[in-house]
Amino acid sequence: MHLKNLQLIQFKNYSKAKVTFSEEINCFLGINGSGKTNLLDAIHYLCLTKSAFNSVDMQNIQHDQSFFSMKAEFEKANKSIEIQCILESKKKKQLLNNGKAYEKMSEHIGLLPVVLIAPDDTALIKEGSEERRKFFDSILSQLDKNYLAKLVRYNHFLKQRNALIKQFAEQNRFDRNLLEPYDLELISLSNWLYQERTLFIERFKPSLLHHYSEISGQREAVEIRYESHCAKADFEEHFHNSLQKDLIRKRTNVGIHKDDFVFEIDGYPLKKFGSQGQQKSFLIALKLAQFQIFKEVTNTKPILLLDDIFDKLDDYRIGKMMELVAHHEFGQLFITDARPERTKNILKDIDADIVYFDIEKGAIKDRF
Ligand SMILES: Nc1ncnc2c1ncn2[C@@H]1O[C@H](COP(=O)(O)OP(=O)(O)OP(=O)(O)O)[C@@H](O)[C@H]1O
């Protein structure tokens, strides 16, 4: 699978841009703030229906403009797929596949797998559990439409139950019959999603540990543990017993929306005790494991977006990544860097079709 070309209108700092890509390695080069990452983000948008960096869709429309449009042609299994995404202010985002609009954005998820490695984006490690749930849910959803459908249903019922609980608490009344259908649905969906997450982590873990030891060259032992209320044999009871607490806090406190994936280093939490280098290695290992699982399950190499890795990683880790590139472990690659000479030097011995793009203030100036 690869991206053949991309057209942007009023997306972030691009007024208008049109570009064709190499099937192998594409490098976006230009000074800080020129718009290199914005190009990666446009690719992310078209593959996953949203920005990797700004979750407020409207903020991705160019300042002082009222819409953005982006269009790209992908090739997958010898078929051409044209994806267009249009967002007008105060209107619903539109996504079209070969000219036909999707009814739901979720229908598109999984068609065009993509993995983004942005070593500075350590929120996945440092922030709360929501970031990690989002990461694993995104992978599972891209791999299995049924998972995504069940997750969407869970979130819908959770929202409804929370609204009802809030109403009960504020009106100082309570009706068990009204609550019961939501409870039953949330308990059943929690159990189902828990099983899927458990099976996934069992498969993901060996790949994560392998990539960590490869990329870090360190001997410390890393670990990933999946924690969930559903792991308890009496989960259903636990859910019901939480009702008083739910009414006080005006929301549902038990269920898979509270799951976490704990990362450890030598038995201690990575976010507290891991060095910056160890955290970065872990982050890359997570993404490489993601890449590998996509490749195995879908038989397709995802598009790989490497944001600023030459600047943010040390020589050892860059060397390890480049070994993977040289051995053609990846499919189509997009790399950003503010220092053209460094990129050219790092890639000089790689036997691949490499195209460099000169990016300047939201414009693609040159292709060489
Ligand atoms: N909605 C928007 N409208 C116009 N410009 C925007 C919008 N959103 C972001 N930008 C601009 O995009 C630029 C940042 O682009 P980007 O993150 O792609 O830079 P970069 O080349 O990757 O930089 P760096 O090398 O520092 O990572 C900034 O100048 C920012 O102001």
Per-residue pLDDT band for 217 (boundaries 50, 70, 90) equals confident
Would the CB of 59 count as within 6 Å of ligand 1?
A: yes
Would the CB of 110 count as within 6 Å of ligand 1?
A: no
Helices 129-143 and 176-216, packing angle to 10 deg: 90
Tell me the per-residue pLDDT of 115-136, one tens digit each, with 9 for 90 and over.
Answer: 999 988 889 999 999 999 999 9
Q: Give the integer Cα–Cα distance in Å for 205 and 263.
A: 11
Tell me the Cα Rg of the chain: 22
Query: What pLDDT does residue 309 have?
Result: 92
278 versus 192: which is more confidently predicted?
192
Domains of the chain: 1-113+301-368 (3.40.50.300), 124-299 (1.20.1050.90)
Would the CB of 35 count as within 6 Å of ligand 1?
A: yes
Per-residue pLDDT band for 277 (boundaries 50, 70, 90) equals confident
Q: Average pLDDT of 237-253?
A: 95
Q: Considering only CA atoms, which of 38, 10, 4, 125 is closest in space to residue 360?
A: 38
Q: Average pLDDT of 295-324?
A: 92
Q: Is residue 43's pLDDT more than 90?
A: yes
Report the mean per-residue pLDDT for the chain: 95
Question: What is the residue with the minimal CA distance to atom 26 of ligand 1?
Answer: 32
Residue 88: in which H helix or E strand, if any? strand 79-88
User: How many A from CA of 59 to the centre of ligand 1?
Assistant: 12
Q: Average pLDDT of 156-165?
A: 97
Q: Do 47 and 112 meet the contact criterion of CB atoms below 8 Å apart?
A: yes
Per-residue pLDDT band for 366 (boundaries 50, 70, 90) equals confident
Q: What percent of the chain has pLDDT over 70?
A: 100
With the most atoms of ligand 1 within 8 angstroms of its CB, the residue from 37, 87, 308, 358 to mutate is 37
User: How many A from CA of 13 to the centre of ligand 1?
Assistant: 6
Cα separations (Å) of 86 from 7, 53, 89?
12, 18, 10
Q: Is residue 186's pLDDT more than 80?
A: yes
With the most atoms of ligand 1 within 8 angstroms of its CB, the residue from 6, 32, 36, 38 to mutate is 38
Q: Do 142 and 134 meet the contact criterion of CB atoms below 8 Å apart?
A: no
Query: What pLDDT does residue 70 have?
Result: 98
Q: Is residue 219's pLDDT more than 80?
A: no
Burial (CB < 10 A; 0-12, 13-18, 19+), residue 260, is: middle
Per-residue pLDDT band for 83 (boundaries 50, 70, 90) equals very high
